[in-house]
Amino acid sequence: MTHKTKVILLLAALCAWLGVAVYGYTQTDAAQTSLTKVVIGYQKADPVDIARQHGEFAKKMKAKGYKVVFKEFQNGAALLTALKSGNINYARLGDAPPVINQAAGLDLVYIAAGADKIQGTEVLVRKQANIKTLADLKGKRIAYAKGTTAQFMLIQTLLKANLTVNDVTIVDMDQSAASVAFAKGKVDAWVSWDPYTATAEIEQNAVVLTNSKGLSMDRDFVVSSRKYASKHTDVSTLLIQYLAEDMDWANANHDKLITMLTKTLHLSKAVIKKTVERRTYAMGKVTPAILKEQQKIADVFYEQGMIQKKIDVTDATLK
């Protein structure tokens, strides 16, 4: 074989290899770009985050042609800002933010709802505060977070005690600030939710004055914009199904879940164990009964002047 022939054969082989490589890259790139992106906003250790960390949700969605992108946010306000701007397609929220933002004109719709969290949403008091009954809250300083389920819980607690916000001093604080203020005795009571309540009970010897039974359900919700949800009912259906399956996993695997959340939240295992074992994880369709609960929040907020518009919660659904 002449040198010229060897060169020709080598060039032919190289061209063939490049052709295969380019074809393979094209096929891989096409497979990646053929997936439809779905962006879901969450807060640390919520049901969506559990599904993210478990890993099955994204795999199942990919098998159906969707690439899931998870984005973490610090609070419900940030999540709803991102939803409104179109930076995310779905947002995991508590019960109060959807009501407040519907009243403010955001055209959102409820997609899915979780189980109640009545055992971990509480009014905590310091042992030194000498508060034994709800009526004893009169004249006391109470920490809460405005625009959250704690705000509704606070109002309901005061109403049950035949008190109003004028009978107490309410202090709007984020959870970290409230924890410090509570520990230092700068507030007498604190309305909050797990894992903050579990942390205060275990590490600060906080006393539970009442949990939210009969006062507030404190459910998780997944919401979307009407514009997106109306065009992607198939995505919403899969989201409900796969999140429900992850919540079933969470209920059946407490040990694994506790280990996972202990690392995620950087809290003690005792705190996470208390948090996990006093709630049920779930995610399913939003029923008329759940919408009725949300309507109660809307009515109370309107009556208390916390929203300026009377709303019908059923308007925030795809009818």
Q: What separation, in Å, do the N-terminal and C-terminal C-alpha atoms of the chain show?
A: 78
**Four-way CATH pick for 122-211: 3.10.20.30, 3.40.190.10, 2.40.50.1020, 3.30.390.50:** 3.40.190.10
Radius of gyration of the chain (CA): 25
What is the model's pLDDT at position 21?
45
Q: What is the pLDDT of residue 17?
A: 46
Query: Range(s) for CATH 3.40.190.10 in the chain?
Result: 35-115+219-266+273-307, 122-211
CATH homologous superfamily of domain 35-115+219-266+273-307?
Answer: Periplasmic binding protein-like II (3.40.190.10)
Q: What is the mean pLDDT of residues 67-82?
A: 95
Distance from C-alpha of 79 to C-alpha of 89, rounded to nearest angstrom: 10
Beta bridge partners of 224: 90, 109
- Give Cβ neighbours of residue 313 (< 8 Å, ≥ 6 apart): 99, 102, 291, 294, 295, 298
Strand order in the sheet with 189-192: 169-172, 141-144, 189-192, 122-125, 207-211
Tell me the pTM: 0.88
In the predicted structure, residue 13 carries a pLDDT above the cut 80: no
Q: Give me the helices (H) in the chain, please.
A: 3-33, 47-54, 56-63, 76-85, 96-103, 149-160, 175-183, 196-203, 226-231, 233-252, 254-265, 269-277, 288-303
What is the predicted pLDDT for the residue at 4?
A: 52
Q: Which residues contact 289 (CB under 8 A, 6 or more apart)?
A: none
pLDDT tens digit sequence for 205-257: 999 999 999 999 999 999 999 999 999 999 999 999 999 999 999 999 999 99
